[in-house]
Structure 1
Amino acid sequence: MILKDKALSTSNYAKIKAGQKQELDVAFYLRRAFKDHGQVFVFNDVKFKHNGETAQIDHLIAYTYGFILIESKSITGEVTINEHQEWSRSYRGNWQGMPSPIKQVELQLELLKSLMRDNAPNLLTKLFGKLQQGFGGREWHSICAISSNAIINRKNTPKTIEERLVKSEFITDKLLEIMKLPASKPNALHLFTTNVRPWFSEETLDRICQFILDQNISPNLQEPSYVPAEISESEPVYDEALIASEQTNTEQVKPKSDLIKEITLACKQCNSATNLQPLSGRYGYFVKCGNCTANTPMKMPCPNCSSSNTKTSKRRESYSLVCKDCEISTPIKL
């Protein structure tokens, strides 16, 4: 299931456009493979802060047994890695060194681990109501996805690196190989089988996914639903008409004096604004009506600029609708 799309940059800088195209290619393959998958949750372009450090993750997979981080790397030409794990790339016949994307994604993974561990009491339930679970035994993986038109010289590449290096079109094959997902979701009966892998319950995985969305630092950029992988190098990797339209919508934001002060939720079925219980689930925060039991999502278009590029944020017991385009946060009344 895709929980966050790649945010588009409007930069015309060639290097940024090439990097963005590679990330969009990988995001396309991830969408094709996992958009309806009940055990795999995909976040594209995630940025968060923890302990004074910032992590920028191109693609993050949360699944039944753990997490996989993917670093997308745009390379035109040939890439080689020597026995010391040093990377080199060719460009127009000239070779030069480059930072290791494997080391880069490993640093992001360690910060994500620290973030999850520090928040374990809020994310994981207690066993038998007493023993607090941790993230020990969960699976943590990091891999690098390289442009499909690159040439990878694997002759002297250390095996530990070679196994984590894949071209974009093979990314889903590699992920399925790593995850080894069962045909059905694990349950309590799996505890009595041999070689059991610690897993997240459906409720816990929902909570973790919502936590990741809440931690994300979202830039004021447009987000596409998907971009196909077959983008030629001569084409722009963003829709200029869409960006112009979104910029126009942003410019039409109401004056401060006319801003909506508060959103009053009502049940989508019986229209009742009372007896609503706030809950969180796979698709974000919602309210359950105590009168007719219908569920109503808190996420909605921004009441101030009408943009659908919004998310619901929770602070203690208070909820707000945050617009990523006009950057206005509107309290939700329950």
Structure 2
Amino acid sequence: MILKTKTLQMTKTPQTIAGQKQEQDVAFFLRRAFKDHPEVLVINDFKFSFNDETAQIDHLLVYTYGFVLIESKSIKGHVKVNNQGEWTRSYNSHWSGMPSPIKQVELQQALLKEMLMHHRNDILSKLLGIKQQGFNGRCWHYLCAVSSNAVIDRKTMPKDVSEKLFKTEFLVDELKRIMKLKHKLIRLVNVTDTRPDFNQQELDSIGQFLISQHIDSNIQQVNNTQVERKQTQAIANTPELEPELQPALAPTHHLAQSNATILAPVATLAPDQHPILSCKYCGESTQYTPMYGKFGYYINCNQCSKNTSMKLPCPQCMSKNTKVTKRKETYTLNCVDCEFEKQII
């Protein structure tokens, strides 16, 4: 189940554009593999702070037995790692050093584990009145996914690094090998698998907690821009009528997606053209991801990362006796009372 999609950022340099595309490629494969799996929660582009430290995890998987962190790296050309764990890569026949993504994701994992352990009593339930063991006893793994067109020199690479380094298209195969997911009935009779597992309630609780800790970089960027504009006007000391400050992600704005993410006003629509479905928290009506959970169909907002149910009152008779149906990629709101139907996605 996808809890959070990749948030597109304003990028200008070829390096940042390539890095963002690599993260989108990894997110695509994760979505194809786990979007309908209730026991695998996928959080893309997760940024959080704890104990005065901040970390950004490219991709985080929470599953029945533990956690997998994935660091995405856009590498064109050759990549080598020596016996000291130092990374080098080539570009246009020029070799240069680069920070180790393995060390980077190790630090991210340590901070994530520290945060979860600190809040474990609020997140995990009790079993027969006894507190669960927390998060240290769970399975913890991390991987690095590099571009599919990279050339990896595995002959001279340390084995422990090679085992964590995968091209994007082979990543899901390794994830399934690591997680070793089994059907619930098989887990009950399989006495050889001693891994402690999260129940569905605990998985949902972990997912909700992590989403609540996410720091939205887009909101920060908009707020910073507003502050900078006010400072510039104060320095210039020129009279200027200030427009009323609006929330960073008000319904009158949306994020247009291309190679960059920009704020742009939404065009005025005729009354019958207004979107029927929008985020109930920030008003976003275009950038969201349709999902399905135990309470039915809903959308996950790409901007504020919160969920909104697709089950709305009938726009014709205002009856709440409605239901949502899905056919391929089309979602339709159906009114049981007046038989009104309207496509919402």
TM-score (norm. length: structure 1): 0.68
Picking from 210, 214, 217, the partner of 1:216 is: 214
Give the C-alpha shift of residue 185 in structure 1.
Answer: 6.5
Deviation at 1:33, TM superposition (A): 0.7
Which residue matches 2:48? 48
Q: Which has the larger radius of gyration?
A: 2
- 289, 301, 316: which one aligns with 2:279: 301
1:300 CA displacement? 5.5
Deviation at 1:7, TM superposition (A): 0.5
- Cα separation, partners in 2 of 1:185 and 1:30, compared to 1, 3 Å: farther
Check conservation: 1:46, 1:57, Cα contact below 8 A. Answer: yes
> Are 1:80 and 1:152, in contact at CA under 8 Å, matched by a contact in 2?
yes
* Cα distance change of structure 1 residues 214 and 97 upon mapping to structure 2, 3 Å threshold: same
Does structure 1 retain, via aligned residues, the 8 Å contact 2:8–2:257? no
For 1:38, the equivalent position in structure 2 comes to 38
In structure 1, the residue matched to 2:21 is 21
Q: Which residue of 1 is the match for residue 66 of structure 2?
A: 66
| Structure 1 contact 124–133 (Cα < 8 Å) conserved | no
Native 8 Å contact 1:27 1:44 kept in 2: yes
Query: How many angstroms does 1:239 deviate by?
Result: 3.7
Aligned residue pairs total 251
Task: Describe the superposition over 1:164-195 as per-residue Cα deviations: whole angstroms up to 9, x where unpaired.
Answer: 000001110010011011133676x45x8234
- Residues 120 and 133 in structure 1, CA contact (< 8 A), matched pair in contact too: no
Q: 1:126 to 1:55 in 2, by over 3 A?
A: same
Name the CA shift for 1:195/1:98 in 2 (closer, same or farther; >3 Å).
same
Give, in whole Å, the separation in 1 of the partners of 2:164 and 2:173.
Answer: 12
Alpha-carbon distance in 2 for matches of 1:218, 1:193: 43
1:205 maps to a residue whose letter is L
User: Structure 1 residues 214 and 186, CA, compared in 2 at 3 Å: closer, same or farther?
Assistant: farther
Correspondence for 1:88:
88
Tell me, what secondary structure is at the counterpart of 2:171? helix
Structure 1 gap ranges (5+): 222-237, 253-298, 312-321, 328-334
Partners of 2:35 and 2:283 lie apart in 1 by 29
Q: Secondary structure at the match of 1:42?
A: strand
What TM-score results when the alignment is normalised by the length of structure 2?
0.66
C-alpha separation in 2, matches of 1:213 and 1:62 = 12
Q: Hey, what's the Cα distance between the residues in 1 that align with 2:285 and 2:5?
A: 16
1:118 and 2:118 correspond: yes
Q: Provide closer, same or farther for how the CA distance between residues 46 and 79 of structure 1 changes in structure 2, counting only shifts above 3 A.
A: same
Aligned pairs for 1:195-274 within 5 A: 195-220=193-218, 239-240=257-258, 247-249=264-266
- CA 1:248–1:167: 2 relative to 1, 3 Å: same
- In 1, the alpha carbon distance for the partners of 2:15 and 2:80 equals 20
Q: Give identity over the alignment, percent.
A: 50
* Distance in 2 separating the partners of 1:202 and 1:118: 21
